[in-house]
Amino acid sequence: MAPGPLATDPFVRRYDPAMAEYDPATALIVVDVQNDFADPAGSLAVARAGRILPRINDQVAVARAAGAVVVYTQDWHPESTPHFAKDGGIWPVHCVADTWGAELHPDLVVDGEVIRKGSNGEDGYSGFTMRDAVTGAMIPTPLESLLRERDVSRVVICGLATDYCVNATALDARRLGFETQVLMNAVAAVNLQPGDAERALTAMADAGAELVGT
């Protein structure tokens, strides 16, 4: 069988040292697999997002069987926020609370805690922190507390999008002292600018995250 595109990509080969493993001290963090990002009809659809859904579901099953914690992050914005282009930000309206776009994708297996972010109009990139779009103040989400309460020391990250929320979540995880792995074939990038995905992967690796195959 011919190797797939991930296997032949030299950047991916450079960061493919190990397979993800799970235990009760590990958390799988599934980032923002919501309709507006993961469905082609979504307002901020990520190319190839549909391809990673089965891989994420496989990881959820393996993680749960090993007794690991599984956490899902979910953008949950008000109708107007400085995060949106119509209100001065850079993004189209997306993941507005209680709308179809904000719902977790129906093909995603949800078997764990859900952490919502951006509910008060913050820039909610990381699963761990949000930034007030007006003052710039950083605000923690409940994610770190949840992981500490469950004695988690290691996180495995997948989801959307590589160059924004996955990147921010991985960088925060490293800053907070968690051993961190990012699943290379269970993430997908927006790539607003050419090379954004590769730059994000380099930043995560430089911060000490391990970029692994699944």
9 given a catalytic annotation: no
Cα-flanking dihedrals φ and ψ of residue 67, to 5°? 80, 15
CB 89 within 8 Å of CB 137: no
CB 189 within 8 Å of CB 196: yes
CA angle 182, 195, 21 (to 5 degrees): 10
165 given a catalytic annotation: yes
Tokens linked to 4: 């797939």
Q: Which of the residues 32, 36, 123, 163 is marked catalytic?
A: 32
Residue 212, classed as helix, strand or coil, is strand
Q: Which of the residues 117, 158, 163, 172 is marked catalytic?
A: 117
Q: Which of the residues 16, 39, 123, 165 is marked catalytic?
A: 165
CA distance 146 to 115: 10
Which of the residues are catalytic? 32, 117, 165
